[in-house]
A and B are shown apart, each in its own frame.
Chain A
Amino acid sequence: MRSEILTRRVFVKGGACALLATTAAPMLLVRTARAAEGRRRVLVAVFQRGAVDGLAMIPPYGDPAHASARPAIAIQPPRRGDTERALDLDGFFALHPALAPLMPLWTDRALAVVHACGSPDVSRSHFDAQDYMESGTPGVKTTPDGWLARALGTLPDAGSPLRAVALGAALPRSLRGDRGAIAMQSVRDFDVRAATSAAAPRGFEALYEQGVRDLLHGTGRDTFHAVKAVRTAGAAGLAPAHGAQYPRTRFGEAMRQIGQLIRADVGLEIAFTDVGGWDTHVGQGNERGQLAVRLQDFATTLAAFARDLGDRMADVVVLTMSEFGRTIGENGNRGTDHGHATAMLVMGGSVRGGRVYGRWPGLRVDQRFEGRDLAVTTDFRSLFIEVARRHLRVAPAASIFPGWTPRAPLDLFA
């Protein structure tokens, strides 16, 4: 049964690729050529906090149990020419209609989906599951640093104070660990505003230059180096390129500014941001509604980012993640409770897009995890390590996920 589904998907996918080969080839060539120049590669990690419903993002409409599991909230299967329903990806999976802005990236094979992806840990706690995903050590709470900080630590350091930047109020767990990662809410405001006297910035800098080794002083020293780098590069003044229009939302603003930092060549290697509102226990909606509004913002922003960066996307991969998925069945309030596996997206770089990766576990009750949730068939670490190795070029021997040995690769990248 499972292999039959898989075969059919590959077959349909193969057909789609053949059809699109003529339009996709030039873009692929551009991407490969750019990457070959050896320009610094960038990973943009996007955390969908609150546990996004992968079954709504990427509905598996070909699964016979799909429609019946979700009488009120299942996304209607695709119908040619109807943009109000799910948009077909490969004959089995589809895209939520609110994710339509991502469709050109899919057809351009710049976007891949990894479905039924998640953590081997069974926790349905947002906090614990986010912590495990960001530390990269499911079930272990004592890991001091984050997986992205460890990845950064294995890469050659060209000396930029802005190698890793999180757009947001706090440094995320993924980037903690004394690797000089920077958090900022706004590129424009990332400076000392000394209206009265230029003596103030110098004084503050001196206060944190003292040779004290602690979090506060270390952060202070990093801060003033980074401030100068951002100022020198003129990142704050860069308008979106190629007519890209970011939504004026928090997520849109965060991605727009990550785009500025990349385009200003400040030496960025890892960027991180997060976007919330996915904990849809009540009235999640279907083609329209609460979740659709969030997805619309999500997709419009990602599409604007790809457009803004243009050819530069050859060096940039966007990886989306969420701590777990949601129940296969809808709950009593046309919402979904905390589940297990979800769907993650990989966009840009040399990704072999236009495909849904991972083995599909099925939605039938006997196929579910604990009888209720989508089973995890791809450990999130399998996805993350592949992005780190194949895109960021982290050395194969480097230990980013301690105590874990990668299985067969997904083969996401060309």
Chain B
Amino acid sequence: MRAGLIARPLLLIAIPFALSSCGLAPTRPVPAAPAVSSAPTSAPTSDAAITHLLSRITFGPRPGDLERVRSIGGPAYLEQQLHPARIDYAPAAEVVGALPTLSLSIAELLQQYPRPDPALLDRARAGEMSQQEPATMTPPERRPARIVSELAAAKLARAVMSDRQLQEVMVDFWFNHFNVSADKGVVRWYVTAYERDAIRPHALATFRDLVRATAAHPAMLWYLDNWASTRADFVIPQGPNQGRTAGLNENYARELMELHTLGVDGGYTQGDVREVARAFTGWTIDRPREQGRFTFRPAMHDIGPKTVLGHRLPAGGGQADGERVIDILTRHPSTARFIATKLTRRFVADDPPPALVARVAAVYQRTDGDIRAMLRTILTAPEFYAASARRAKIKKPFEFVASSVRALGGTVDTRGAEALARAVGTIGERLYQAEPPTGYPDRAEPWINPGALLARLNFALHLSGNRLDGVRVDPVALVRGADRTRPDDVLDHLLGTVLLGQATAGTRAVLAAQLEDARVVRKTADDRGPADTDVGLLTALVLGSPEFQRR
């Protein structure tokens, strides 16, 4: 089985790719791959192609990655990445293991990282103390804010140091697709479990499982308010709202169709929103501030018949109504197209090639939403390796920060990982705190603006200067073997390791011109020639270059 999985793509290697990528030959028709699929495929064989693959399925190459992938072959590397359980994850596991909140259950987090005393909050509201004061009454290591800080630190530690790179890319992708924000109420205590239990296990599995896991997770139930949605005439039996009549809440139903499955133009109506909301009544949370567990409450459920996108749901379906809706939505061709579009946008280009999207959508429908199969289609497509797709994507802040540390061969401890997570926020991507259900955009324009660019440059200076607590980089090691008294040699080593030779002539010329500056290249005492090159500063310039903002 294992050998087969690796071998199959090897059979599909298309020779034309390697040639056309060098500009030597026009693309020739790809030989049909017998018995598997008539879809065109391609595989990375040249260094440029492997670098491209690495830039898309990892958070950027580390020194030596290109050589490692070259030795086992691009297709084999891709298959490895599609099966992360086979990859050792030790260095990142150590950092994550040192973050206590990552392994706790929701109930444990609620108990061990309690909210400030409500009495204190009341006093703050009444102006008897500042808004910040109630939080400061708890020791820092027990404050709820720790939960998100540690989760974000774990995300950075994994992105920088785990070898299960594609898995981390997909966890980030799916979390964003099924976004929840830690800033909304009790989600702060749920978000760790949400990523760990609802997203991560299914990141490379089946799309339906992701929808099912997120639909029933307390984080989503709270974030999109489904926990409180009830049949129209439900009278609340106990608690502060005892005796009050509750009713339907449309929030989750709408976003489930608009953002999670069909897409906004996927063919649903306001009537469908109501019907889907009715189907999910009763999907709620058991004691949100003590247990935070999914539960189905039949008393809250609307038992009447429903019609969703033309499908009849007979009366009395109970919890199965929601399951049935998930089936209807995940089998819908609009969902196949929507998910194919988003995946292709992530891996290929902001405006994904329509022919490839169509092929990926077909794979979705044929495989019932098999994520690996869709990724394989994208990552072996000629469109993926096309010249127009190279460095076509702008790194979002998280990708920029992680790839910078990786490019310098850096390592982090827990403090360093937290410092990196803060830097990501400063550049504009506050991790786990995207407020809208759309999550963060996956297009260039929102991420490229003067404030964000300056934040990137400042991060590059801090990192290269080793001024981030707990992050260790050694720029000098990148130019090992170079003659430090020959600034040109130092620069070429740096461009080779950090940009893998992908600097444009213009950028190289600009950087070479900086070598004339006495602050970059120190002269010998008798001023006769270069004595030493400020490798840290040059490295910052390379990380701040236009090329490094792209993947």
Contact = CB atoms under 8 A, between A and B. Distances in A.
Interface stretch (B53-61, B192-200, B291-299, B444-452): B444-452
A150 interface: no
B514 interface: yes
A171 B449 CA distance: 6
Interface string B500-517: 000010110011011001
B73 interface: no
A166 B360 CA distance: 38
A206 B249 contact: no
Interface string B429-452: 110000111100100111111111
Contacts of B444: 215
B461 A332 contact: no
B249 A332 contact: yes
Contacts of B549: 216
B10 interface: no
A60 interface: no
Interface stretch (B27-35, B63-71, B229-237): B229-237
A198 B520 CA distance: 10
Given A127-B438, A186-B451, A220-B453, A207 B507 contact: yes
Interface in A117-148: 123-128
Interface residues of A, number: 62
Nearest to A209: B510
B338 to A, nearest CB: 13
Given A331-B247, A332-B248, A335-B249, A215 B445 contact: yes
Given A171-B445, A196-B537, A223-B454, A337 B546 contact: no
A184 interface: yes
B415 to A, nearest CB: 20
B455 interface: yes
Contacts, number: 188
A352 to B, nearest CB: 35
Nearest to B252: A281
Given A282-B228, A333-B229, A207 B545 contact: yes
Interface stretch (A6-14, A187-195, A263-271, A397-405): A187-195
B465 A196 contact: yes
A217 B547 CA distance: 10
B49 interface: no
Given A217-B546, A332-B230, A337-B251, A223 B445 contact: no
Nearest to A128: B264
B336 interface: no
Interface string A358-369: 000000000000
Contacts of B234: 332
Given A184-B451, A282-B225, 13 more contacts: A125-B258, A183-B451, A200-B541, A203-B511, A203-B520, A204-B544, A207-B507, A207-B510, A209-B510, A219-B449, A219-B453, A276-B435, A282-B228
29 contacts: A49-B436, A123-B264, A125-B254, A127-B259, A170-B441, A182-B451, A184-B449, A185-B455, A190-B454, A196-B537, A197-B520, A197-B537, A199-B519, A199-B534, A200-B461, A200-B541, A204-B544, A207-B511, A209-B510, A210-B506, A210-B546, A211-B506, A212-B506, A216-B394, A223-B454, A226-B450, A331-B247, A331-B248, A332-B234
Interface of B: 225, 228-230, 232, 234, 244-251, 254, 258-259, 264, 270, 273, 394, 426-430, 435-438, 441, 444-455, 457-458, 461, 465, 467, 504, 506-507, 510-511, 513-514, 517, 519-520, 534, 536-537, 540-541, 544-546, 549-550
